[in-house]
Amino acid sequence: MADLAVDAGHDTLVAAVDWGGTWIRVAAVSGGRIVRKDRRAKPQSLAEQYATVADMVRQTTAHLAQPPAAVGVGLAGVIQEGIVGTAHNLGFTDGADVAAALRPHLPLPTYLLNDAQATALGVAARWPHGTTAVLTMGTGIGGAVVKDGALDPGLGAAGDFGHMVIAVDGPRCWCGGTGCLEQLVSGRTLAEAARALAEAGLSPLLEARARSGRVLHAGDLQDAARDGDGRAAEILGRSAVAFSAGMRTIVATHDPHRIILAGATLAPDTWFGEAVRKHWDLIRPRWARTELHHVAEDGDAALLGAASYARNKFTAAQPGL
């Protein structure tokens, strides 16, 4: 996708890996554009995953004009200074050094970042100047802060916006805190709310869909609200308040030029996306100049972002380049 190209004009070939819970995707990226890519189902064992990633990088970059200079790996987990703190859905134990484990299979400089950070880098390439906060909403809540096209990761986990505390007495989160944004609003929590309404017989539309065998998700809850279901609308309204509060925290801490809302649920023409924008207009700081933008989901953003991160890290480590 042309408008997601990053670092255009630089022809260093790098490999990018999007290491997810279901699929492993790999791309060869040159000049900020994907020239070849592959996708395979993630094996169960960690040893097989390492071998698969290495084989995919080799196969994807084979027979190109030049070998890859480095590898950028985006995976779903907390990563600090190259060490994976938590990534339980992938099978990593705490403190895993993924780059070191890959080295026997893949002797290339390898740089790790969170998958949401990788996506954010790919998305933020459309706005190469200033401070951009990307806020993603899928199964969970994630994001990143990008300054003039470069990731601002802190020790590694900066931009993990799902763990902003919104309700100090709220539900317990797996991170050890309470009241995190992700526990109050995410694709997962909205899907759970839709299923609860259906099981309790409190929403005719949701109950009918569940009875048909459909697995309910956040979009079904929005359909119910649009259909006049007051309970669904109330849940989405509370969620929009929580989400907007998170945006206010981002503005207070980063004062970015823009916040990019990423994900289908946050589109301005959805029930939830419209509610978020309406509440944001009510609570935004009077001095805030931050703009709101939305981008649809694009699978290549994570690959392009991981490639950009690897190229920048590799270049910084080469004084002569």
Residue 28 makes CB contacts below 8 A (sequence gap 6+) with 13, 14, 15, 16, 34, 35, 36, 37, 60, 61, 64, 68
* 223 CB burial (10 A radius; 0-12, 13-18, 19+): middle
| Domains (range + CATH), the chain | 2-123+299-316 (3.30.420.40), 128-295 (3.30.420.40)
Q: How far is CA 264 from the centre of its chain?
A: 13
What is the model's pLDDT at position 321? 53
Residue among 176, 3, 192 at smallest CA distance from 85: 176
End-to-end CA distance of the chain: 28
Instruction: Look up residue 16 and give its two tokens.
Output: 């990018």
pLDDT at 5: 43
Beta-carbon contacts of residue 277 (< 8 Å; ≥ 6 apart): 268, 292
* Calpha distance 180→163 (Å, rounded): 5
- Model confidence, pTM: 0.85
Which residue in 154, 179, 160, 146 sits closest to 116, CA to CA? 160
Torsion of the alpha carbons at 310, 316, 319 and 321, rounded to the nearest 10:
60
Pick from 124, 40, 61, 42: which is nearest to 298 by CA?
124
**Parts of the chain with a pLDDT under 70:** 1-10, 88-89, 93, 319-321
Residue in this structure with the two tokens 């899928």, named with its chain if needed:
138
Q: In what order do the strands lie in the sheet with 33-41?
A: 33-41, 23-30, 14-19, 71-75, 110-114
Digit-coded pLDDT (tens) for 97-151: 889 989 999 999 999 998 889 999 999 988 999 999 999 988 889 899 999 988 9
What is the pLDDT at residue 279? 95
* pLDDT value for 36: 95
